[in-house]
Structure 1
Amino acid sequence: MPTSRPDREALPYRDCVGVAVFNADGNVFLGRRRIEGDPDQSASHGSAWQLPQGGIDKGEDPLRAALRELYEETSITSVSLLAEAPEWIYYDLPDDLLGKAWKGKYRGQRQRWFAFAFTGPDSEIDVEHPGGGKFEAEFDGWRWEKLSRAPALIVPFKRPAYEKVVEAFADIPQRFTHV
């Protein structure tokens, strides 16, 4: 007997933050999602690369959530705020994940995006033992990449959202260009 899919329109969006961390060369941090424990199953949907992101706790300020999620996923604390995207950015889960991802409670995510300058050494980044091992690893690798390439490296159902992130932060990489 086939299971019925939840009514997409009846499900809310999950409030989240997204983080674009830029290094001194103007490149952005990308993490490769571990397939095990991938809540929205991005890794199994065509690409495991993404920028750090995560849920906003009840009553939590989005900027504080962004800093917390960044630390919990990457161990990064040495950052300086560059910008906040001017509006919430949304994405919907594909039909086959609706009713499965995040315990079936959400239709997708409503994300508040922040851009930070990374002011520490690359050795500060530890995705395999984030927070000194206090948090479960969500990534199994990472790299620096041009922000403009991020949408092509991301799981297809998140690409429209990432295109909006690129648009919101398009001027940031030029701030790091060395003369």
Structure 2
Amino acid sequence: MSDGKAVQAGRKSRRRSIGQPNSGDSGKNRGRGGDSSNNIDTEGFRPNVGIIVLNARGQALWARRVGGKDAWQFPQGGINPGETPEQALYRELYEEVGLTRDQVSLIACTRGWLRYRLPQRLIRRRAEPLCIGQKQKWYLLRLEAPDSAISFDNGYKPEFDHWRWVNYWHPLSKVVTFKREVYRRALTELAPQQIQLEKRFSEDRNQKPGE
């Protein structure tokens, strides 16, 4: 695994402990791209996008939540009312890791919604409407810009304070337990495209000069 640069969260941001829910899980509005806290379906699931950014080697961008020593995850975020999943993808991509649409290429996305339920301790029982979990569409992207383009200092309250490139399957054993099945399903569905990217990189690297 190769580490990316560490970026300090802004001074005005209050750091959360690893045990506290973040907005990506609880449905609380981050006050950034709009209010998605009330965008919850009749079953109590909040629509959300999950983002897997790959480098040319086929490694995945893995980010550490602010204030959490071992709280790592893929970037994700809620879909605002009136917003399409793809619009939410590019908004969240910039808000969370500082990448713009022209700095990535869209490779693939999952076909349907992938759902996970929140642990009881993270459900805000007094909230209206009640959010019991997330339903997600997952997007696979390739980074077309230098690693230095990845940044948490973009004018929004940071979700992450460090990132690194990891093996494509590494997150499956490291993510918080209640998200693990969704990660497995998303990674498995998108794996054929990741394998192709990894294969092309290997072929290009092994190609002899002049051929």
Category of TM-score, reference length = shorter chain: 0.7 to 0.9
1:147 equivalent in alignment to 2:168: yes
User: 8 Å contact 2:44–2:129 — kept in the other structure?
Assistant: no
Please say which of residues 158-167 and 144-153 is displaced more in the overlay: 144-153
Return the match for 2:85 from 42, 62, 84.
62
Structure 2 residue corresponding to 1:126, chosen from 126, 141, 151: 151
Q: Please, what is the CA RMSD of the aligned residues?
A: 2.1
Give 5+ residue unaligned stretches, structure 1: 1-9, 36-42
2:142 & 2:97 partners in 1: Cα distance?
A: 14
The gaps in structure 2 that reach 5 residues or longer are 1-41, 204-211
Matched, 1:82 2:103: no
In the alignment, is the contact (CA less than 8 A) between 1:11 and 1:105 conserved in 2?
Answer: no
Distance in 1 between residues matched to 2:150 and 2:127, nearest whole Å: 27
- TM norm structure 2: 0.69
Normalising by structure 1, report the TM-score. Answer: 0.81
Q: Select the residue among 137, 142, 167 that pairs with 1:112.
A: 137
Q: Deviations over 1:60-84 (max 9, x none)?
A: 0101100110110000121111001
Q: Residue 3 of structure 1 aligns with which residue?
A: none
Q: Paired residues, what number?
A: 157
2:11 maps to none
Q: Could you tell me the percent identity over the aligned residues?
A: 36
Deviation at 1:159, TM superposition (A): 0.4
Larger Rg: 2
> Structure 1: how far apart are the matches of 2:63 and 2:128?
23
CA distance in 1, matches of 2:108, 2:132: 27
Deviations 1:82-119 (A, max 9, x none): 00101111111111212269888310100111111110
Distance 2:126 2:63 in 1: 20
Is the Cα–Cα contact under 8 Å of residues 99 and 106 in structure 1 kept in the other structure? yes
The one-letter amino acid paired with 1:159 is R
